[in-house]
């Protein structure tokens, strides 16, 4: 999933953002950092805040991820 293949609106889960090499087929990262680095960035508000969709489902708004990727390009 590249930034071009992000949906127009909605939510994405963490493996779609940071990638998952163990998935079949492997998921390429949009923002290549480790899981622990991502969560530390969320805690420090460097990365977008997640949305809880259920007791065990955490996701991020596509618009927030697009903003992060645009910020990275600048």
Series of mean pLDDT values for 10-residue runs along the chain (74 residues): 73 96 94 97 98 97 96 85
Domain ranges for the chain: 3-73
In sequence order, what are the beta bridge partners of 12?
60
pTM: 0.88
What per-residue confidence (pLDDT) applies to 3? 52
Question: How many helices and strands, by DSSP H and E, does the chain display?
Answer: 3, 3
Q: How many angstroms separate the CA atoms of 26 and 19, rounded?
A: 8
């Amino acid at each position: 999933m590249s930034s071009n293949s992000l949906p127009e609106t909605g939510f994405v889960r963490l493996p779609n953002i940071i990638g998952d090499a163990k998935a079949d087929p492997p998921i390429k990262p949009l923002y290549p950092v480790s899981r622990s680095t991502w969560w530390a960035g969320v805690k420090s508000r460097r990365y977008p805040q997640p949305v809880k969709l259920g007791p065990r489902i955490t996701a991020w708004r596509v618009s927030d991820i697009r903003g992060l990727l645009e910020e990275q390009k600048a």
